[in-house]
Structure 1
């Protein structure tokens, strides 16, 4: 199996695009080679089998959506209040939405995980670690709310992102900003109830 990290990343980025566009049935080594514009057979040199490729796509998605350390540092600047949480949630929804193909590929991976134990294990571990990291960041930074606040924001905004990227006419784009603000306002306790 080949070990060129840049080529592997390019193949995984191509695989994300194929998975988002064609679904799991369309994800073949050949389709990835075509998308990556590499010689036929290249992807099969980098991945043991289709399951290995699906698992590696899961890792690559999370590499690409990891927030920049500057974004995390900026979240700690200024007052740590409901307005700051709202700003962070807008940033999150926009950052994930900009990587549309990645999020759609993740949805395909989640469906595949119902049939592939190794992929289910990977996604469960990774998503649980993300939720835990978000809870830690939120509570240790002194932002208002508690662990339940973070979980509820995670659940509500993830589904808003799903709607935004799969059925954009359900909630038109000009409503997304207000909806994110409303989600935070309704989930996060007010100043007199901060947790």
Structure 2
């Protein structure tokens, strides 16, 4: 059984790579098999439909973007204030930039969600759940900012990521400086 889980994860990782490199139109079972180095038909055995494959990619993106427990443990020892909030935001940005295939695949899925209701359903459910979890975490940690401000941070981080992963508008402003200014402006 462990081997099946490992292969499923490897196929999902290959799907993320295909999605990031080829776009949603290039995401096929055959392309996933080729990227994973598995025999033809393996991806369709694990994910019989394209919608099953998309749901698996969304789940794997969530796993790959989950913060490291040791990082969370270190941050939760600190006093809740805007500086701590900025460090949490900085960690999100760091995780996205350190794994650009995941960030790009996520943008590809968001675009594909505008064309395919099944993608919108899978991605939308995950995003709403993740957003609610962010709001609950923020409240339980005693961090500044409520639901609306957390939404504004999601919008801001999405824009920052799209900018940094594609064609930066301002290359002299560091990511840390951008995060500091966003936190100062939104939490004001």
* TM-score computed with the length of structure 2 as normaliser: 0.91
- Residue by residue, what CA displacement relative to the aligned partner does 1:84-139 show, whole Å, maximum 9, x if unpaired? 11111111101111111011111111122223222211211111111111111111
Structure 2: where are the runs of 5+ without partners? Answer: none
How far did residue 70 of structure 1 move? 2.4
How far, CA to CA, are the matches of 2:83 and 2:50 in structure 1? 45
How far, CA to CA, are the matches of 1:17 and 1:118 in structure 2? 21
- Residue by residue, what CA displacement relative to the aligned partner does 1:7-51 show, whole Å, maximum 9, x if unpaired? 111011001001100111211222111111112222122111222
How far, CA to CA, are the matches of 1:153 and 1:75 in structure 2? 19
How far, CA to CA, are the matches of 1:124 and 1:88 in structure 2? 23
Partner of 2:110: 110
Per mean C-alpha deviation after superposition, the further-off stretch among 17-26 and 173-182 is 173-182
User: Which SS does the other structure have where 2:142 is aligned?
Assistant: coil
How far, CA to CA, are the matches of 2:120 and 2:71 in structure 1? 29
Q: Please say if 1:6 is aligned against 2:9.
A: no
Q: Please say if 1:158 is aligned against 2:121.
A: no
How far, CA to CA, are the matches of 2:148 and 2:71 in structure 1? 23
Structure 1: where are the runs of 5+ without partners? Answer: 190-195
Q: Please say if 1:28 is aligned against 2:28.
A: yes
Per mean C-alpha deviation after superposition, the further-off stretch among 90-99 and 65-74 is 65-74
Partner of 2:170: 171
Partner of 2:130: 130
Number of residue pairs the alignment of both structures matches: 186
Between Structure 1 and Structure 2, whose CA radius of gyration is higher? 1
Q: Please say if 1:19 is aligned against 2:16.
A: no
RMSD, aligned α-carbons: 1.6
